[in-house]
Structure 1
Amino acid sequence: MPLWHKRSRKQNLAPVNNSSIHIGSDALPALAQLLQRPGTTHVAVLADTNTARLCYPRLQPLLPDNHLLIEISAGEEHKTLSTCERVWAELTEHRFDRHSVLVCLGGGVVTDLGGFCAALYKRGIRCAVVPTTLLAQVDAGIGGKTGVDFQGFKNHLGVFQLPEAVCIEPEFLTTLDPRELRAGYAEVVKHWLIADADAFMQGRNYGLFVDDWAAVVRESVAVKQEIVAQDPLERGPRKLLNFGHTVGHALESYLLGQAGRAILHGEAIAAGMVCEAWLSVQKGLLTESELDKIETFLFSVYDKVQFVTLETEAIAELARQDKKNQGDTINCTLLEAIGRGVYDQPVTVAELADSLRYYHRL
């Protein structure tokens, strides 16, 4: 049975493990209803400096008059325990209890960090997610993964904790600059490559020239929902969603630690997908022809990530801390065909470095 089948764009998405997902014009009204539930004591909105300015005004009229706005600095470099401490301190100062709700309004940094804060504060308070970037709407905001970076490693600390609701308003995508929208698109492409060959072939024709982002979001969310429903805690098929992320996270973490060289998550994942598609060929899983299709499409959308050959070993070494590893074995998600991923594929640091050198030569 395939992991995912195409759903009607008008069909409502079923809840996954009691987390309801709303997409479109009813999303924010659904959030307002959730916040009005009897017994709710306090409401806080967690936003970063961008979403507080660009998205919060749209949400504010639907919130209780006495809600609290907690604003954090924007950017991956602030996805840390020290930022969590600031959030927890605000909740504590305003006497939030376990019947309170934290609304996470933002991209992947806010949804990851906010969900983590909600899960740990007083052993867990209610949480709702309002993802505002394409990356968060199709990936980071879906499925209940929370976390923060630690000692230079991406999402090194975290828990699985589903929010009560994910409320996706595609109109928020109009607040993004082209680079952010392009970065989020990498997760859409990932879903195609692991689960929907037809969508990948269609997507090659229009690239980023999308007329209806709501439809793209709805169909991409359906892919992730289907996989998460089978494996909420990432012990099996959910690992498919990590395609591009073993190399991508290592590359992102390495460059984040280099002054002035940080790249966006989706940009790293796009590079990681090229590397891991190449590894798939080396393992006899994917054909050269399919690799060429993947590379041609990704390089039509994304610029090459810049690093020098001498850095490949250091980048690859960071994969030793990848969360999918078992002991000394680095487990990677690869492709056995376009539209069909395969997980728990062992790779070595040397092979990862070779994939980075291959990418660098392109």
Structure 2
Amino acid sequence: MKPIVSKDSTVFFGQECYTTLNNYLEKANHSKICILVDSNTHEYCLSLFMSKIEKEYDIEVIEIESGEIHKTIETCSGIWNALSELGMDRKSLMINLGGGVITDIGGFIACTYKRGITYINIPTSLLAMVDASVGGKTGVDLGNLKNMVGVISESEMVLIDTEYLTTLPVNQMCSGFAEMLKHGLIQDRQYWEKISDLSQLDFEDLDQMIYDSVVIKNKIVFEDPTEQNIRKYLNFGHTLGHAIESFYLTHPEKTTLLHGEAIAIGMIMEAYLSTQVLSLSSDDLEYISQVILATFPKIDIDPNTYQGIMDLLIHDKKNEKGNIYFVLLSAIGEAKYNCTASDELILKSFEYYASL
């Protein structure tokens, strides 16, 4: 597959990943290399990655616990200290081998350690391949508020090898699929229709599906790298989805939702808002809801928690001057950013989801 070039990085696919990486490592002559993993990718992915490195280098491995709950400044502090103790200098390289948490936190750490060292992302989850590793967004959560601290700075390169996906449980694969559905909804109805029926797809289709999804995201990011306008399209489903994810992340009586599971709910609810605020048809709303619920079983959200979730909306990064902004759809494949909705409509979107 042809590499996808962004403003400051390039995404490579398949076995070309390792040819490119080995050539790069030989020429770059980094003083040290650190590989950041979590407990899962240490066990299931690290040995595969190391088998692809052709020469001997001074490599250290830092492991953190897996899960969104560990994407914090406190975790960063521990890693910064470890990098310092390992003697990592500004000529060092950081390789982030993992899912979205690892690429988010690893990129942020690399961008801030000694005011910036080079880093490479090697996503091992479907979510990270199609979303988290592309576009240069890095960061950590602030309490239960998603990605509130971070920077936008692209990695040296991104290496996408779907062999890592064979280690993933089904729910993690589905979590990434939510972002792929989102890419179709905001930009490309034909792509949406192609991937909306998983029964007609097999693993051999996955490489092309991932490639097409990255093309959609990269096109948007290339035109608007710092999210001044059209990059906001990528937030469809995320205003309500992030609030739901954040609420479930820290509520002691709730089961934590994966990112894609929360975004799936958010996409249905924001599709409902799209019928009320823009011109999305009721037929398309039903179509979107059916496709998403075929992959993501409905979550029972207690009506008594609606207001608590809505209270989190004010902290969304897209908000300006106290206004809560949504990305909504005028049709499948056509999005509009900076849309607003009344509290009454937002409550009705919860009720719509509950009615399905």
TM class by shorter-chain length? over 0.9
TM-score by length of 2: 0.96
> What is the aligned-residue RMSD (CA, Å)?
1.4
Q: Secondary structure at the match of 1:161?
A: coil
Which deviates more, 75-84 or 199-208? 199-208
- Residues 1-362 of structure 1 mapped to structure 2, 5 A cutoff: 10=1, 12-63=2-53, 64-206=56-198, 209-211=201-203, 212-259=205-252, 260-362=254-356
* Residue type at the aligned position of 1:74: S
Checking the alignment, whether the CA contact within 8 Å between 1:312 and 1:357 is kept in structure 2 is: no
Q: How many residues align?
A: 352
CA distance in 1: counterparts of 2:306 and 2:19, whole angstroms? 48
TM-score by length of 1: 0.94
Q: Which runs of 5+ in 1 are unaligned?
A: 1-9
CA distance in 1: counterparts of 2:342 and 2:90, whole angstroms? 45
CA distance in 2: counterparts of 1:173 and 1:77, whole angstroms? 22
**1:40–1:208 distance in 2 versus 1, CA, 3 Å:** farther
* Aligned position for 1:4: none
Deviation string for 1:103-148 (max 9, x for gaps)? Answer: 0000000000000000100110000000000000000010000010
Which deviates more, 282-291 or 230-239? 282-291
Deviation string for 1:193-233 (max 9, x for gaps)? Answer: 00110121222333584332111110100000100000000
CA distance in 1: counterparts of 2:316 and 2:68, whole angstroms? 18
CA distance in 2: counterparts of 1:157 and 1:243, whole angstroms? 21
* Residue type at the aligned position of 1:258: H
Checking the alignment, whether the CA contact within 8 Å between 2:278 and 2:329 is kept in structure 1 is: no
CA distance in 1: counterparts of 2:192 and 2:34, whole angstroms? 39
**1:280–1:207 distance in 2 versus 1, CA, 3 Å:** farther
* Residue type at the aligned position of 1:354: K
Q: Which runs of 5+ in 2 are unaligned?
A: none
CA distance in 1: counterparts of 2:200 and 2:300, whole angstroms? 22
CA distance in 1: counterparts of 2:47 and 2:174, whole angstroms? 25
Checking the alignment, whether the CA contact within 8 Å between 2:197 and 2:291 is kept in structure 1 is: no
Q: Secondary structure at the match of 1:324?
A: coil
Following TM superposition, the consecutive aligned residue runs of length 4 or more in structure 1 with deviations greater than 4 angstroms are none
Checking the alignment, whether the CA contact within 8 Å between 2:277 and 2:341 is kept in structure 1 is: no
Q: Secondary structure at the match of 1:18?
A: coil
